[in-house]
Amino acid sequence: MTTPQNIRSVAVFSGSNFGGSPEYAEAARALGSEIARRGLTLIYGGTAKGLMGVVADAALAGGGEVVGIINQRLFDRGHLHQGLTRHEVATDMRSRKARMGELADAFIALPGGLGTLEELFEVATLTQLGDHLKAVGCLNVRGFYEPVYQLLDHAVQEGFMKAEHRDMLVLNAAPDALLDQLQQWTAPTVTKWIGQPGS
């Protein structure tokens, strides 16, 4: 196992909508406040929409540094949050995600849709492959990420992934506890291949 993380910046992936319960915005607000309270830098997608705007507003209100990475198309549509510490405009979604990954020491997914889930799985895959050794967590508000964990558990049972890679995804509904867990997280050292020569 590797050593625990030295987290100074956290990339947060989240929905550009608010979701069907006020608990989602409350959790996003609590996460942004906790990130600021700890003196961490928030890296996020740069817009004021949905939970993205909520987490950014809360971090800024707490005196935190907030860096927005927005893609050109959304920037051109006027979606940039106007109160950020700083921002960068990326060419497209792929370069936007890559830049967020470069700047972040760890990742947290709030509830969200396709984009949020895609970002979550991409950074988890990069950790699995050893392309980076960064902790990945989910703020499990209203049990939102339980079905994702069940799917990963099913993949383990069906022989498509190892339990260590299922378990590297940290789930917690409390922002402070989740950040504590990410700080103590260690990367798995097993390879991704199961029962194959040279793995």
Structure confidence at residue 199 as a pLDDT band (50, 70, 90): low
Q: Which two tokens stand for residue 47?
A: 């817009």
pTM: 0.94
Question: Domain locations in the chain?
Answer: 9-183
Contact 100, 11 (CB under 8 A): yes
Give residue 95's identity as a one-letter amino acid code. S
State the fold for domain 9-183.
Answer: Rossmann fold (3.40.50)
pLDDT of the residue at 195: 86
* Close Cβ partners of 113 (under 8 Å, ≥ 6 residues apart): 15, 16, 17
SS (H, E, C) 82-105: CCCCEEEEECCHHHHHHHHHHHCC
Residue range 108-153, pLDDT digits in tens: 999 999 999 999 999 999 999 989 999 999 999 999 999 999 999 9
165 pLDDT higher than 90: yes
Residues in CB range of 32: below 8 A, 6 or more apart: 12, 42, 54, 55, 56, 57, 58, 59, 60, 61, 62, 64
